[in-house]
Amino acid sequence: MRILLAEDDSVLADGLTRSLRQSGYATDCVMNGMEADSALSTQDFDLLILDLGLPKMTGLEVLRRLRARNSRLPVLILTAADSLEQRVKGLDLGADDYMAKPFELSELEARVRALTRRGAGGGPTVIKHGPLSYDQVGRIAYINEQMLDLSARELGLLEVLLQRTGRLVSKEQLVDHLCEWGEEVSNNAIEVYVHRLRKKIEVGGVRIATVRGLGYCLEKISEPQAAAAGPAASSAPLSPLDASSRR
């Protein structure tokens, strides 16, 4: 999941960015409202954390422009404790939640998890797909009740696929949701991450299907195929969705 943090306090911005990255979120940071508006106009994010007291363009104006573009991006606004009027205006303009400064980091992270779940369609904290389950709060994945040992990138990839079950996710979309500014991640690198994740979940009965030129999606393997999964599983019959390629 990818977050844009718009905060002009460099100390707070650095601390929040480090914390969010440690929690597994790709996090980009801007220091003024014009940069925030430009980033939101040209790139995709899963959540905006927006300080209202930004220079060059206020947070309220950034929010107004965002909603004028018909964006449904979840927005968590940060505001001074005594700015009740700004909080009301922010919520009226379409913010989803707010936090008054100073705040506890653990509470902010809980609100981030809630808003990213809402942005992905809401639902329970645990996403299930056949024998695969993913705890969005603890950010832990299980298959057949066994915890999966996943790297941060593999976990992020699985999260994106699970939150879009039934839909194709392109390599470009995966890059947009998993990578921060300045990260050089090629389509070939995405294929490597998919290959590694595929090996870890296919043995449990879940496959990442590939449609050449279009993208990836999750599908369940039938019981006979799941039983045969393992090093030799690559010879199992492919579904129509997989007919073109398995990378």
pLDDT at 3: 92
CB 93 within 8 A of CB 69: no
C-alpha closest to that of 158 among 180, 178, 138: 178
Residue 44's nearest CA partner among 90, 93, 1 is: 1
pTM flag (> 0.95): no
CATH architecture of 2-119: 3-Layer(aba) Sandwich (3.40)
DSSP 9-38: -HHHHHHHHHHHHHTT-EEEEESSHHHHHH
By CB atoms closer than 10 A (0-12, 13-18, 19+), residue 241 is: middle
Phi/psi at 174 (nearest 5 deg)? -65, -45
The answer to whether residue 170 scores a pLDDT higher than 70 is yes
Which ranges in the chain are annotated with CATH 3.40.50.2300?
2-119
In this predicted model, what pLDDT tens digit does every residue of 22-63 receive, in sequence order?
Answer: 887 889 999 999 999 999 998 888 899 999 989 999 999 999
Tokens 């799941």 sit at which residue?
226
| Average of per-residue pLDDT values in the chain | 82
Q: Which residues in the chain are classed under CATH 1.10.10.10?
A: 126-242
Q: How far apart are CA 35 and CA 76, in angstroms?
A: 17
What is the CATH architecture assignment of 126-242? Orthogonal Bundle (1.10)
What is the DSSP pairing of strand 132-135 with strand 140-143? Answer: antiparallel
